[in-house]
Chain A
Amino acid sequence: MLDHASSFDASPAARQPLPLTESAGARTLLITIALGFLLLFLLLPLIVVFAEVLRLGFDSYWAALREPEALAAIRLTLLTALIVVPFNAVFGIAAAWAITKFQFAGQNLLITLVDLPFSVSPVIGGMVFVLLFGLQGVFGPWLAAHDIKIIFAIPGVIIATLFVTLPFVARELIPLMQKQGTDCEEAALMLGASGWQTLFRVTLPNIKWGLLYGVLLCNGRAIGEFGAVAVVSGHIVGHTTTMPLYIEVLYNDFNFPAAFAVASLLTLIAFATLILRTILEWRAEQRLASSRLH
């Protein structure tokens, strides 16, 4: 047996190629299975989406996107992301800061709670808000009396999306900040910096790449979320339908060209996210490699 363990390292940048032990046949088979699977389940559907768009022609594609309802859906999706992402970024930083820089009772509970939206189905997330804010819900009568509409309205869409995307930034930052410890913050404070100065000049620059990565993931999910939003939105076309919901509406109406047009737009956003993410990961590796040089 060759000693594999000694060449293993947690970071991809420093990983050495392992001596190959499999035969050429086995290797080919494994690669074929993996690539074939990717092709069939990931690439093919994407190709179909864009092929469909091309087949319909650019004019009808453009027309489908210029529909007032389509524009409303795009606007609502962007609005949701615009509210949810900054909110979750702030929450994520606050939660990660609290968990990693202080010791307090209920710390582990907070970590578990942050993860909750990942472990329950988004539909349940949506249902919870219906139970809370719906007409028959806990706060329903009070909201109705004050003429505030949350469920089947835009606030509901935003709240449901908030719930589903809550963990992304915090999850990204907690391990990072745990690794970094509190030395830099203590050093800054001892040099006379105020709490805010420490946050903006020391902590945020230290975590900026992790934060950006978390924001990107959060944004992707906020734009693409379907389950939770479907429950609370009420599918009022042109008013409470986000892009994913609008695609479903179009699809159920057998309006396939328009459905594919909006779907392609959503896919493009996902692609952009993927590319940005790869760049960020590459950058992080570069930084790691350069800090290892010394």
Chain B
Amino acid sequence: MRIEVKELTKQFEHTLVLDRINLEIQEKEFLGLLGPSGSGKTTLLRIIAGLESPDGGVVEADGRDVSTLGFEERKFGFVFQHYALFNHMTVFENVAFGMKVRPRGARPDKQAIADRVKELLELVQLGEFEDRFPAQLSGGQRQRVALARTLTIDPQVLLLDEPFGALDAKVRVELRRSLRNIHDATGLTTIFVTHDQEEALDLADRVAIMNHGVIEQVGAPVEVYESPKTPFIFDFLGHTNSFDCVIRHGKARLGDKELNVEPGIPDGPGVAFVRPHDIVLSRANDPEPTQDAKLPDTAIMRFVSARGQRAAVELLYGKRLIEAEVSRERLNELRLSVGDKCTIRLRLPRIYAKRDAEKQTGIGERAAPRPRFRKRLRSRLGGTL
């Protein structure tokens, strides 16, 4: 089923939670709604489900306006962050619930219900757990039960609200895989909400990134990761190094290079955002020319932490810290270690207007001075000084 959201607005008290949202989800698509908490993503999902009503705008399913339909008429499957399982029922009874509550004429017979429950529990790999109670299951298993239960109403759309939010890291990755498998097996149009960018980028066909009630960008994971439209998205999707630059006549001077700036960014102060893995290191006395912008001064390696094949390197450039990520091999090849000087090049910098960057990411605040020690001490000791 194709879902289309048009000009959706929602206000709670005096806060605008959704500000004219437009979004289209294709048939069989797997879409991730990604954003920090308070960005409006859960509200958007609940409005699509019919659990919340919008103040303005419409939700369409296959071109038909469903805004006025209650959630029971929309027949969308919904999975809650905290599972919302019925704790007094066994796994079997939980999954059977959606069939047992149907009116007498539409209710399948006992055997048909049992067969369907078994089939769904096999699908979520919980075949042997039908007699357990939810309290006897792990978080990941409970979420699978919730998923199986939702599928009994044969929904054409599956909506998941932070489905992995309450799980620990390892179970998350497992459940991600099985959710993807279930999606591929059933061909359901699926929308899930998450605040975890890795999860969204890993799982979804397309990602819609929300902030302050607005969708800032929609696109395939690679697309949003490699060309984030706004400084917020860049910063939200991963670690960020920022470098000041000046934009003039649509070009920015960064290190020893002049770079083209995307149209629409005004002249004036700008910043270049660079991911840690796009910080290219080389030895200080090795000025091999490349296309990447080279910073004028050398930096000092302050700290190296090796996690597996990748090494996180902290560099001191002047008075500021730069985060870099290089392979251990490359680091050995360069024969660089803590305390050594090195040259920095910036690969694939994204340039934004400085004002936008500061407003959206708080980057400018990172250098805020700490209160002076004496002053703090005095205020703590009160009148005794």
Which A residues fall within an 8 A CB radius of B? 183-184, 186-194, 197, 201-202, 205-206, 290-291, 293-294
Contacts and interface: CB of A to CB of B under 8 A. Distances in A.
Given A191-B153, A206-B88, A186 B51 contact: yes
A202 B86 contact: yes
Contacts, number: 64
A257 to B, nearest CB: 49
B164 interface: no
Given A291-B135, A294-B136, A189 B88 contact: no
Contacts of A291: 87, 135
Contact of B101 (A184, A186, A194, A294): A194
Contacts of A188: 86, 97, 101
A215 B372 CA distance: 61
28 contacts: A186-B51, A187-B85, A187-B86, A187-B149, A188-B86, A188-B101, A190-B49, A190-B71, A190-B72, A190-B78, A190-B150, A191-B98, A191-B101, A191-B150, A191-B152, A192-B72, A192-B98, A192-B102, A194-B101, A201-B86, A201-B97, A201-B101, A202-B86, A205-B86, A205-B88, A206-B88, A291-B135, A294-B135
Nearest to B78: A190
A25 to B, nearest CB: 39
Nearest to B88: A205
A294 B152 CA distance: 27
Interface string B251-266: 0000000000000000
Contacts of B51: 186, 190
Interface of B: 49, 51, 71-72, 76-78, 80, 82, 84-88, 97-98, 101-102, 135-138, 146, 149-150, 152-153
A188 B86 CA distance: 9
Contact of B72 (A187, A189, A202, A293): A189
* Ranked 9 nearest A-B pairs via Cβ: A183-B84, A191-B98, A187-B84, A193-B101, A205-B88, A291-B135, A183-B80, A197-B101, A184-B84
B88 A187 contact: no
A186 B98 CA distance: 12
A175 B249 CA distance: 63
A201 B88 CA distance: 9
B135 A189 contact: no
Given A183-B84, A205-B88, A192 B101 contact: yes
Given A187-B78, A187-B80, A192-B153, 20 more contacts: A187-B85, A187-B86, A187-B146, A189-B72, A190-B49, A190-B76, A190-B77, A190-B78, A190-B150, A191-B98, A191-B101, A191-B153, A192-B72, A192-B98, A193-B97, A194-B101, A206-B87, A291-B135, A294-B135, A294-B136
A149 B7 CA distance: 63
Given A191-B150, A201-B101, A290-B135, A184 B86 contact: yes
Query: What DSSP secondary structure best describes chain A's contact surface?
Result: helix
A191 B146 CA distance: 11
Contacts of A190: 49, 51, 71-72, 76-78, 150, 153
Nearest to A290: B135
Nearest to A189: B72
Q: Give the residue among B76, B88, B153 with the most A Cβ atoms within 10 A.
A: B88
A184 B146 CA distance: 11
A188 B137 CA distance: 20
Contacts of B84: 183-184, 186-187
Q: Give the residue among B97, B152, B153 with the most A Cβ atoms within 10 A.
A: B97
A294 B146 CA distance: 17
A203 to B, nearest CB: 10
A277 to B, nearest CB: 21
Contacts of B71: 189-190
Contacts of B86: 184, 187-188, 201-202, 205-206
Given A186-B84, A190-B78, A192-B102, A294 B153 contact: no
Contacts of A205: 86, 88
A56 B334 CA distance: 104
A15 to B, nearest CB: 21
A209 B187 CA distance: 42
A201 to B, nearest CB: 7
